[in-house]
Amino acid sequence: MPEKKKRRKLDEDKCLNQDNMADETNPSPENEKSLSPESKEQKSVTPDKSYNEKIKQITSKWMEGSGAEAEIVISSRIRLARNISGFPFPPLASDEHREKVLSMGKKVLQEQKDYLSDMNLLDISSFSAVYRQVLVEKHLISPLQARESLSSALILRDDEVVSIMINEEDHFRIQCLLPGLQLKKGWEEASRYDDYLEQVVDYAFHQDLGYLTACPTNVGTGLRASVMLYLPALVITGQINHILSAISQVGLAVRGIYGEGTEMVGGLCQVSNQITLGQSEEEIWQNLYSVIRHLINQERKARQHLLNKERDKLADRAGRAYGILKHARLLNAEETMQFISDVRLGVDLGLLGDVPVGTLNELLVLTQPGCLQYLKGKSLSPYERDLERATRVKQYLP
């Protein structure tokens, strides 16, 4: 319809104007900093090199917004829990045993170096609390491992797609984390690394119960497949609760993007399998895959519905969110996630200027407490974090 097209054009113009306006009125970092007590520390207007380096350290392959269904599926993850036969599991292990497990990890790297030459062992215990938090926010280690520092390590592939946590709840946790919907590839990769590990490690394996794990919820395949999703239209149209309760009936769990107990904000959520025993690995991820496919279809329909019925409202919502992100001085974590979600929906539906999906994914991580403090180079109170968050968002958002 010509009228709609015109309106869309107007929205785009508006957005462009907003963009310019933001540039003109955006106070320089110096002005901004003069409001905060640490103004003397950061003088440069343009981000210094170490800032860029830090950003590079924080951003990761899974955030890049590529892969199948990237506008709805942020990332796919496969995790395999594996333990060494005859060793106490990490929660009850002595210091010596934890050290032995770590040595075993080093042995794996050494003996399998033909296959693992692009992997490095990172000593988590040598990292600051803030940097550990960054790794948690990047989904490379778990909160549990961030706390447990003794002989705690991570074997990480250069592209950060494959990693092996050592001495988490289980002796080894192999993870493959990919952008977009790529569960099959994730499983194949994780399984390949599982084979490398098994060449060196005597696994705790039981003929009836499969891979034995510290927690009874992981026994069997030890496999957790999870998909990080972005379902804003299902939230706006109020269908989400209905759909989520249906999901829990097919052996899957839904949670916020930062794990158990975190809230689902702006339609950002993680769906994962709960059952690990009695189904093959293929069945587990395929079951998840088919549910995700269904969710993607529902989300698409809801987006189309919104576009047909509430185009103006959506464009307004996205524009306001963009304006707030660009101009706010204090942003808390939850509202930031909500506004990023609103902007993203506007961009996806062509109602707002062009912001790369990858940038928005990265912002979700960049605005987490650990990353903010890492970028700032010091620990920040919750209030200071809100200030810092607003500054970073303004800086990072095109």
Partner 1 sequence: MLCQKCNKKNASVHLTKIINGNKSEIYICEDCARENGELDFPLEGKFPLYQFFSGMMGMNAPENAEAVMPVEEAVMQCAACGLTYAQFGQIGRFGCDRCYESFDRNILPLFRRLHGNQKHMGKIPTRAGTHLKLKKKIDHLKLELQKKVMDEDFEAAAELRDQIHDLEKQLAEGGAGDA
| DSSP annotation of 71 | T
Least gap, CB of 156 to partner 1 (angstroms): 20
Token digits for 275? 């059952």
Least gap, CB of 168 to partner 1 (angstroms): 12
Near partner 1 by CB under 8 A: residue from 27, 47, 88, 323? 88
Q: Residue 340: which H helix or E strand, with range?
A: helix 333-348
Least gap, CB of 39 to partner 1 (angstroms): 23
The answer to whether 184 contacts partner 1 (rule: CB under 8 A) is: no
Query: What sign for the dihedral angle of Cα 302, 347, 259, 163?
Result: positive
CA-to-CA separations, 220 to 164, 186, 243, 355, in angstroms, rounded: 19, 19, 28, 43
CA-to-CA separations, 342 to 4, 130, 378, 397, in angstroms, rounded: 20, 29, 30, 14
Q: Residue 390: which H helix or E strand, with range?
A: helix 382-396
Q: Please say which residue, 276 or 391, places its beta carbon nearer to partner 1.
A: 276
x-or-dash pattern for partner 1, window 127-156, by CB under 8 A? Answer: ---------x------x-------------
User: In 10 A of CB 26, how many CB atoms?
Assistant: 14
x-or-dash pattern for partner 1, window 44-83, by CB under 8 A? Answer: ---------------------------------------x
SS3 83: coil
Near partner 1 by CB under 8 A: residue from 51, 87, 289, 396? 87
The answer to whether 248 contacts partner 1 (rule: CB under 8 A) is: no
CA 112 to chain centre: 29
The answer to whether 259 contacts partner 1 (rule: CB under 8 A) is: yes
Q: Please say which residue, 251 or 323, places its beta carbon nearer to partner 1.
A: 251
Q: Which residues bind partner 1 (CB under 8 A)?
A: 83, 85-89, 91-92, 136, 143, 169, 191, 194-195, 198-199, 202-217, 219-221, 223, 251, 256, 258-263, 275-281, 283-284, 332-333, 369, 381-382, 385
